[in-house]
């Protein structure tokens, strides 16, 4: 792929090519742990990829081959309820990023080489698909390092691998290799490290051949199943957008603008 830079950041790399955006956490010296700035930059890049109609699929990955992401940067974790940004403000902004990735109406694929651990493990879980290299290792560490993700990190994991396995992952803090992760349905494919990017791009290109609206509504429907009214709102927003594209929806708007009564009688009441 002839990746072209799509923006300059400090903690991440952002590239695009052939309808695919590639976002990489670029802090390999700390196994791609995220600090508040990293998360802010990730959110900026995801927003750009969301709004860019030439982008049909997004890859989230980590720089280098040792880690996808090792979670929150424990060196900036304060005693006051969060991770400190440059101004010393403590917060937990990775939760905003999790919701953003889920709500983004395009497929997001985690491309995992090396460790996907702690909050980094939750990030791959949040992505729609995960392609892993044969050196990938997965796991949660929260109960060992004094943290937990009782939101998507627990509930979505249970829906993905089953409740017994999800409890095992959180209660024992073990690590699982790529084949074990595949066997438990945590990831979609395992390939040799040298083939990781080619394989991930291949999956993205396959999706680029398919109907973007169908993929968008399907993604929202999977969220609706887990996210309650917020998920239904997302799914329903797609229905409203499609309705706006119909002559029937447009008749309502046109009648109001033309200060006349709408004529909905000309539209069939379909069985």
Ligand X SMILES: CC(C)(COP(=O)(O)OP(=O)(O)OC[C@H]1O[C@@H](n2cnc3c(N)ncnc32)[C@H](O)[C@@H]1OP(=O)(O)O)[C@@H](O)C(=O)NCCC(=O)NCCSC(=O)CCC(=O)c1ccccc1C(=O)O
Q: Does 56 bind ligand X (CB under 6 A)?
A: no
State whether residue 40 is helix, strand or coil: helix
Smaller CB separation from ligand X, 43 or 145 = 145
Identify residues 119-138 at the interface with ligand X (CB under 6 A). Answer: 119
In the block, tokens 């979670």 appear at 71
* Residue from 37, 38, 70, 130 in contact with ligand X (CB under 6 A): 70
Per the CB < 8 A criterion, the answer to whether 128 and 81 are in contact is: no
* Residue from 72, 103, 107, 231 in contact with ligand X (CB under 6 A): 72
Size of the site for ligand X (CB under 6 A): 25
Smaller CB separation from ligand X, 9 or 83 = 83
Strands of the chain, DSSP E = 4-7, 12-17, 20-25, 57-62, 67-69, 83-84, 90-91, 108-112, 115-117, 129-133, 137-139, 176-177, 189-191
Q: Does 68 bind ligand X (CB under 6 A)?
A: no
HSE-up of 267 (CA within 13 Å, CB side)? 11
Contact string (CB under 6 A) for ligand X, positions 94-113, x = contact: xx------------------
What are the tokens at 3?
A: 């990746």
Distance CA 26, CA 64 (A): 8
Instruction: Enumerate binding residues for ligand X (CB under 6 A).
Output: 30-31, 33, 66-67, 70-75, 83, 92, 94-95, 115, 117-119, 141-142, 145, 147, 149, 153
Question: Which residues are documented as binding site for hydrogencarbonate?
Answer: 140-142
Q: Which residue ranges are tagged as binding site? A: 31, 70-74, 83, 115-119, 140-142, 147, 244, 259
């Amino acid at each position: 792929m002839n990746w072209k830079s799509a923006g300059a950041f400090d903690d991440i790399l952002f590239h695009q090519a052939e309808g695919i955006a590639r976002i990489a956490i670029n802090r390999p010296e700390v196994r791609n742990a995220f600090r508040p700035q990293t998360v802010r930059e990730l959110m900026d890049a995801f927003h750009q990829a969301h709004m860019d109609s030439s982008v049909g699929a997004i890859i989230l990955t980590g720089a280098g081959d040792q880690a996808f992401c090792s979670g929150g940067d424990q060196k900036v974790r304060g005693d006051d309820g969060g991770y400190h940004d440059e101004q010393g403000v403590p917060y937990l902004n990775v939760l905003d990023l999790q919701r953003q990735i889920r709500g983004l109406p395009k497929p997001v694929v985690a491309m995992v080489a090396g460790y996907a651990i702690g909050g980094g493990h939750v990030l791959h879980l949040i992505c729609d698909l995960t392609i892993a290299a044969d050196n990938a290792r997965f796991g949660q560490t929260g109960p060992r390092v004094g943290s937990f993700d009782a939101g998507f990190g627990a509930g979505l994991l249970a829906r993905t691998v089953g409740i017994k396995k999800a409890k095992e992952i959180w209660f024992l803090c073990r690590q699982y290799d790529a084949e074990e992760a595949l066997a438990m349905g945590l990831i979609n494919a395992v390939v040799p490290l040298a083939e990781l990017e080619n394989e991930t791009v291949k999956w993205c290109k396959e999706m680029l051949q398919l109907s973007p609206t169908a993929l968008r509504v399907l993604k929202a429907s999977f969220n609706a199943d887990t996210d309650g009214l917020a998920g239904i709102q997302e799914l329903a927003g797609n229905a409203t957008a499609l309705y706006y594209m119909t002559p029937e929806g447009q008749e309502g708007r046109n009648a109001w603008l033309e200060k006349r009564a709408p004529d909905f009688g000309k539209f069939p009441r379909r069985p």
